[in-house]
A and B are shown apart, each in its own frame.
Chain A
Amino acid sequence: MALLEIRRVSRAFDGVLAVNEVSFQMDEGETVSIIGPNGAGKTTLFNLITGLDRPNEGDIRFDGESLIDLPPDAYARRGIARTFQHGRVFGNLSVLDNVLLGAHSRRRATQARSSFLHLARELFYGLFWPSSVRQEEQALRAEAEMILAQFGERLLPRLHQPAYSLSYANRRRVEIARALMLKPRLLLLDEPTAGMNPAETAEMLEFLHTLKARGQTILLIEHKLSLVMKLSDRVVVMDEGRVIAEGAPEVVRSDPRVIEAYLGHHRTGEGVAADEVAASQAPRAVVADFSEGAI
């Protein structure tokens, strides 16, 4: 059975279909990338998969269970963790606290069956700090430092600095560390290398390779196609809310529909020359990256 199954999911904003009957699935251990031009609906789809937004139609199943009626905070408990396109670290929290929050849904206090028990437990633990809670906290802390250690010396020396003081790239790393702290069964990364220079991107690629080698299931949105090609088992291409191609990286890369999506739309051609559209959307850099496969 597929781990994640997306069935004919649609989401409209003011009559515009941001996601239009999208279907695909992924298995445990797979790395799947979603690519497509800006405005293709990739991030909207991420929001639907993580419960921040609801589809108008269709179903999203995780491990056989339908997700779409669950409250947004229930997704984490099922092992779905994400990073955000524009970065959402907790600015005034330390790096360590940011990462520790990733384990929120794993903490014993949050495992209670009813909301009353949950609240009572949080209050009791918070007031009296029983030794079980101290031990749990210590273990989580050690785990957080282990995760941060995977980024070498980038974050460890900054453990107690507030996240707002970090560089852009380091904030992205903190977000990934926070997501890993959930021990996710499915990790969704929304443009993890945005704003990173080539060296940092290469480093991130290596990091994602290690994750993948450990069997982590990853769903990735990424614009740097060379990274996508090197990392993905499969690629899903979206344009104007639809999935226009899907398959192994080398197959997708030579699909004429994909190339066209990146070059410009024939439908917009009415009265406007196709290359004018292409020029105004400035896709050439992408195309170059696409064909040369270089970072």
Chain B
Amino acid sequence: MESFLRTFSDQTINGLVIGNIYAFIAVGLALIFGVGNLINFAHGSVFMVGAYVGWVCMTWWNLPLAVAFVVVALVCALVGMAIERFALYPLRGAPPIAPLLATIGVSFMIDQAVQLLFSRNPHAFPNPLIEHRFQVGGVTVGAIDLLIAGVGVVAALTLYAFLRFTRWGWALRATAQDREAALQMGVNVNAVNRMTFAIAAALGGIAGLLVGMYFNTVYPTMSFQATFKGFAAVVLGGLGNVPGAVLGGLLLGLIESYGVAIFGATYRNLFAFVILIAVLVWRPDGLFSLKPRVAQEPLTGTFIAKGRPVPTPKWLIAPLIGVAFVLPILVPNPYLLQILTNAWLLGMVALSVTLVTGTAGQTSLGQAGFMAIGAYASALLVLRLGWPFELSMMAAASISAVLGTLLVFPAFRLRAAYIAIATLAIGEIVNQIILNWEGLTKGAMGIAGLPPPSFLGWQMIRPHEIYYFSLALLCLAALTQWRLVRSPLGRTWRSLREDEIAAQAFGVNLNRYKTLAFGVAAWIAGLSGAVTGHMYTYISHETFTNTTSILALTMVILGGMGNLLGAIVGAVTLTALPEVFRGLADYRYLVYGLTLLLVIRFRPQGLLGTD
């Protein structure tokens, strides 16, 4: 009993300390959401930059801790302002999801830049504090815990005083309440925006520094988790609600801490994603809102730019396919064929994204989850039940369609930006389940020894064989989808993309048509996942990550939303481009991020236009 109490109180301290850090991240996100009505995906990257700047300060320059804090806050504030100035400011007046996508591009770029500068390996973070742990009333507390708590309290009080008692804080609150009115009253809302980003980024950077010290390590991929923990905390507290974000952060920290104590450490990241979706779906105003308001929709509409598709002459399609089919004979370069095979398989995923996001208007960042379901389903059917690949592939696609749609179903009531976050979280949840359901999936070990794809006794081992197979599948998927979107069904999908209310008034059952869209998309993505898995011969919970999902969406934006040929052009371009310019291969994600930014800014309808 004594030891249970001790564990319990230790977990509580633990949870509060981590929660304090989440609160730091969440407050920044809440400020940005409140002022700019923007969900900032780059926030975790700034957090990671803060951790690295702190690491540089302490290991390279041997600066005292207090100075490191100041340097981190300043550098991150500058980064935040730069993000606002160069990525978001030019997008004023664009559809609300445009700046969200831009922050995804920025986060890709920052993450890759840090990787290039500091390598992708973790670095040990020195602990400048005394290692002694204090006994306070039966609870052990480390110096770092006290530091985090202290910084947290100081930051919260400073922020409160700033918002309450300064002119700038006044302007910030006014802008958050009513941007137009603030502008009318002479508030420089653009300056307020930039200042908000600076404050949020400084807070995020300090959180990064604290996390680095707490876990004694920094690594580039810490950014994505931080963004999501922050989202979960913000959503718990109510979007745009700053005190709510602090409470949400602390609560999330406690939930994680107790959850890990009960279920085990590998479950740590699952809680945030599940909480995120559950709160978005069932309490979209957060836990602490007194009365449920009439649901506000600060962010609606998918990223559909006005404009017609660029006319692609029909006679061009057949020769293009022809060229793709004779290419292995003309250029029997296995390296090239491998890259193009990747492009075909990712092209299928891009097709699935363009169906849900471009045609049906449900911005999806969870496509990798469908791929993972497909890959694991096929692997298990082949390895455990001895099914032939051609059967397992079809079954896997169907399992992906059913499971994927069921997973997304609770999020159907969400609109554009929220469904983007929810689907991203669903993709993560799929991977977390794969990681933790060891009996079925072998957990972190992954599944090795998948036989290569085969079709009616034809084993695809050499590059050109799998090339032909994936190209054929891509053509089939494109043909299927082309028939669907040209039919009355496609018209109905587009109507709900354009205006759900009007579509509903004309008898369109939104849930059914979203089910169809996600079902077909998850089928195609699952098929691609199954083939990809067998091609790699090894899959794990890290094979199909959110990066793949974001990449697929970038391909679609590049090619033009809802445009089938555009999706394939986008897939080929983004897969091949870094390889063609050999030097670019190391800068792959910089290229992806920059592409996303530039397309959103200068050609929002994509290369081939919205269809």
Contact = CB atoms under 8 A, between A and B. Distances in A.
Contacts of A104: 492, 495, 503, 506-508
Contact of A126 (B489, B510, B519): B489
A131 B525 CA distance: 30
Nearest to A107: B488
A284 interface: no
B306 A126 contact: no
A237 interface: no
A72 B504 contact: yes
Nearest to A88: B502
Given A76-B506, A122-B489, A92 B306 contact: yes
Nearest to A181: B506
Nearest to B510: A73
Given A118-B512, A126-B484, A127-B483, A93 B505 contact: no
Contact of B509 (A13, A73, A101): A73
B534 interface: no
Nearest to B515: A119
B498 interface: yes
A97 B491 contact: yes
A126 B501 contact: no
Contact of B494 (A72, A75, A92, A133): A92
Contact of B498 (A71, A93, A125, A127): A93
A126 B498 contact: no
Interface residues of B, number: 34
A109 B489 CA distance: 9
Nearest to A134: B487
Contacts of A110: 507
A209 interface: no
Nearest to B492: A104
Contacts of B507: 73-77, 104-105, 110, 182
Nearest to A188: B505
A231 B489 CA distance: 38
B506 A129 contact: no
Contact of A164 (B306, B497, B501, B512): B306
Nearest to A164: B306
A190 to B, nearest CB: 11
Contacts, number: 113
Nearest to B494: A93
Interface string B25-67: 0000000000000000000000000000000000000000000
Nearest to B561: A92
Nearest to B504: A72
Contact of B501 (A88, A91, A102): A88
Nearest to B308: A162
Given A123-B489, A126-B490, A50 B495 contact: no
A92 B483 contact: no
Interface in A161-200: 162, 164, 178, 182
A57 to B, nearest CB: 18
Nearest to B480: A127
Given A77-B507, A91-B306, A119-B516, A125 B494 contact: no
Nearest to A72: B504
Contact of A109 (B304, B488, B504): B488
Contacts of B503: 90, 101, 104
Interface in A65-110: 71-77, 81-82, 84, 88-93, 97, 100-102, 104-105, 107, 109-110
A52 interface: yes
B491 A81 contact: no
Contacts of A255: none
Interface string B271-310: 0000000000000000000000010000000001010100
A137 interface: yes
Contacts of A133: 487-488
Closest 9 pairs between A and B when the two form their complex, measured CB to CB: A76-B507, A105-B507, A90-B498, A126-B489, A126-B487, A88-B502, A126-B484, A73-B509, A72-B504
Interface of A: 13, 50-52, 71-77, 81-82, 84, 88-93, 97, 100-102, 104-105, 107, 109-110, 115, 118-119, 122-123, 125-129, 133, 137, 162, 164, 178, 182
Interface of B: 294, 304, 306, 308, 480, 483-484, 487-492, 494-495, 497-499, 501-510, 512, 515-516, 519-520, 610
20 contacts: A52-B501, A52-B504, A71-B509, A73-B509, A73-B510, A77-B507, A88-B502, A90-B502, A92-B304, A92-B306, A97-B494, A101-B492, A104-B492, A107-B488, A119-B512, A123-B516, A127-B483, A129-B483, A133-B487, A178-B506
